[in-house]
Amino acid sequence: MQMLYDSDSFVVVHMLPDADRSGATDDTPQPPQLVRHGFEIVDKRSGKEVYLDGSWAELFQQQILAWQLNTPTQEEVEDTLDGYIGLAQNPVVVH
C-alpha cells in the first residue's frame, strides 16, 4: 500500500499486490493467484470511497503518469478526483 495523495478533501492510496502470498512452509504447490493492483480514492467531505481496479485502475494509472509529466495544480487534481467520486457507493468504515 502506498499513499499517493492526501489533502483536506481526498486521500488516494495505491494498493500493490503482495509479491508472495503463498504462506506455505512446505513444498506443497499453491494455486496460481491473479496479481492485480488498484487505487482507493476516499472523499473526506462525503465519507465515501471508491476502489478502482481492472480497466478503471489502468485509466487512473495513465492519469497519474500524465500528472508526472505535467505537474497539475491541487485544484486540477481534486477536480479529477471529484469525477471519480461519482462512482463511490461505499461509506468509509473504520475497523
Domain membership flag for residue 58: yes
In the prediction, which pLDDT does 25 show? Answer: 57
- Give the residue numbers spanning the domain of 6: 2-17+36-91
Tell me the DSSP string of 32-58: P-----EEEEEETTTTEEEEEEHHHHH
**25 falls within a domain:** no
Residue 41 lies in a domain: yes
> pLDDT of 36-81, one tens digit each?
789 999 999 989 999 999 899 999 999 999 999 999 999 999 999 9
CB 64 within 8 A of CB 45: no
pTM tops 0.85, yes or no: no
Question: What is the number of domains present in the chain?
Answer: 1
Domain assignment of residue 60, yes or no: yes
Domain assignment of residue 27, yes or no:
no
Q: Indicate the helix (H) or strand (E) that contains 69.
A: helix 54-69
Look at residue 77 and tell me if it is in a domain: yes
44 occurs within a structural domain: yes
